[in-house]
Structure 1
Amino acid sequence: MDQKIKQIDVSTMQERVYQELRDALYQGRFMPGDTLNLRSLAEALGTSPMPVREAIQRLTAENALVQMPNRATRVVALTPSNFEEWTRIRVEVEGYATRRAAMRATPELCARLRAINETFRAAVEAEDSHGMLQGNQRFHFTIYRAAQAEELLKIIESLWLRFGPILGFVRNLPGSSVMFERGVQIHDRVIAALERRDARAARAALTLDIRAAASWFHHHHDFNEPIVKRAD
């Protein structure tokens, strides 16, 4: 073999595609019930269908995607029951992670969260929907990683793979910027509690963020109405 040419690491490409699709789900770039087209995704990612197929199979095994009888793959659908169940689980699990993070909080963590929240605030003011979803996800996961609990983080990641698309749908609803504005304000409260290392207050503020968003959604979405594909 010519030593001037390095062998391509296919596994690295597969991992990069998998991570990109995970981020797309986390940040609401797909909506509940979206059908994923293998070739379209491969074209958008600039790769062959093979690593996309592998990533879809992994995400299906993680219950973020569903294999339909016609062999099509879809993002998990939104129903009243799964929305309620996921919200309740998020409150408990993410609240616990925030409590752990508060006990380990450092000035560097709080400064990083303030910077992220300011970027989030700017996206809300600019009505930049992609920026809002990305900023919200970055804020939450910065806290959850600070909890320093690997298995706990995996559970939260699994929840967000299913809940992220719901946030993507929320941005379609009239007046959703109000919900995100409230989120920015509650994030400020989370940061203030972390700065004091007040674990109870940090947990309460974080769970308020989840509950407030869920309450807004319940008041502005009729579950009997079909989910309409957004125009990007």
Structure 2
Amino acid sequence: MCYCSDACSQTPDKSSTTFEEAPEIFRTRDKEVYFVQSLVHLIVFLLEIPILFVKTFGEGPLALVRKVLLLSASYANIIADNAMGKQLSAVTSAPTSWSWSYETKSDPIRANVAYDLWLGASPVGAPASRNSSYEIMVWLSRQGGIQPIGGPTASGIQLAGNTWTLWSGPNSNWQVLSFVSDTGDIPNFNADFKEFFDYLVQNSGVSSQQYVQAIQAGTEPFTGSANLVTHSYSVALN
């Protein structure tokens, strides 16, 4: 998942996510989120710091701090194995359905519930990697006043029966474009992502030659604790 505009100052405290009735084509990761989740994570984390130092040399100390914080964060999500490798120009439909709810939620809490759709110049590429050109986020919930990366570039966008504000900003090697619901939480979401793709191609300069590399769905917790339950979920790329 991507990281919100305040990710540098807010490290995830604790969250757990439960996925129910997920089709077998999805890999599910159900775990509590800690700053450093395990000894293995700690070792990898410490080994990565000098690598990040080299990569951010010349960018200043703030760039290093930001990348270390992003490395330390972890976000429960599911990823579709069947929804990838097709150019936007070839997509005829991309139907999705997601029914979710918070089983428990602390007060206060700062978190979102969102899709992540990764685009790149090649058919294959890991999310949040050097192969990523765009991260398209669709925010179905925003708790505690958190905001996406960047700033708003368009508002009053009518897609999938809802009204959205589009945010845009850079994150590492890719551009983040976030559709944020103007109508509050959408716990029962049904849409065709082709509508979102077409909007971005026509209005935001996204090339129709970009490939869909991955579609993820999950939660980004920053402060507090919650149990997010997915009752049903599906997505396809046709």
Please indicate the TM-score interval, normalised by the length of the shorter structure.
0.3 to 0.5
Larger helix share, 1 or 2: 1
Larger Rg: 1
